[in-house]
Amino acid sequence: MTLAYHGTRLRAAKDIAYAGAILSPIEVEKRRLQAHFDQYGAPEEPVSLDELATRILRGQYRPDEFDIRAYHVALTTDWHRAKDYALRFEHGGGVIVAVDINLEQVNAIRNGETLFVRERVQLEYLKEIRFPAHEERTTGFTLRKVYATFEPTFVTFKTQTHPLPEETKSI
């Protein structure tokens, strides 16, 4: 088993918990569109969720990287890379979801320390939720609540913009 990290924003971390899995961007977009249609009604001209999600995501990736980025879950085995990615969100308030995966059993494409996993990554393999220590009161409370059923270890880490004592584990 290999510990792999997925850096993301707080809202996406909550969605991961509700879905019970880390989803590919195309799955996330289809869920977002379905929720929008459920609330406001479907467009008058019929269009498939796949087609609409693909059109939306095509603008976010280069044509040569679209298939791998849109249809795969991106993970990394490098904690610092995940941390840097997560801290780009919400003014340094991103979240890192750590899962244990068996590289021999998943359909993954490896590019250095980055893994592109074709299928959703189920939270039954969840080990840790990491978030910035300066977010303990807000983010920590929220994450403990939405991830309670998965029983992960919660870890806070310090950031350069918000220096605190060394990483601390909490239950």
**Pair 101, 64 in one domain:** no
Q: How confident is the model at residue 156 (pLDDT cuts 50, 70, 90)?
A: confident
Average pLDDT across the chain, whole number: 84
**Pair 48, 117 in one domain:** no
pLDDT at 19: 92
**Pair 78, 57 in one domain:** no
Show the domain range for 29: 25-71
Give percent above pLDDT 90 in the chain. 42
pLDDT at 160: 55
How many CB atoms sit inside 10 A of residue 39's CB? Answer: 7
**Pair 8, 56 in one domain:** no
When mean pLDDT is compared across 24-38, 63-77, 121-135, the lowest value belongs to 121-135
Question: At which of 56, 71, 86 does a domain end?
Answer: 71
Q: Would you list the DSSP string of 27-41?
A: HHHHHHHHHHHHHH-
Q: How many domains does the chain have?
A: 2
CA atoms within 13 A on the CB side of 20: 2
User: Nearest Cα to 155, choosing from 114, 127, 121?
Assistant: 127
**Pair 16, 87 in one domain:** yes
CATH of the domain at 14: 3.20.170
Residue 149 in tokens: 């059923």
For residue 164, pLDDT beyond 60: no
Spatial distance between the Cα atoms of 118 and 115, rounded to a whole number of angstroms: 10
**Pair 30, 8 in one domain:** no
Spatial distance between the Cα atoms of 54 and 66, rounded to a whole number of angstroms: 9
Spatial distance between the Cα atoms of 93 and 133, rounded to a whole number of angstroms: 9
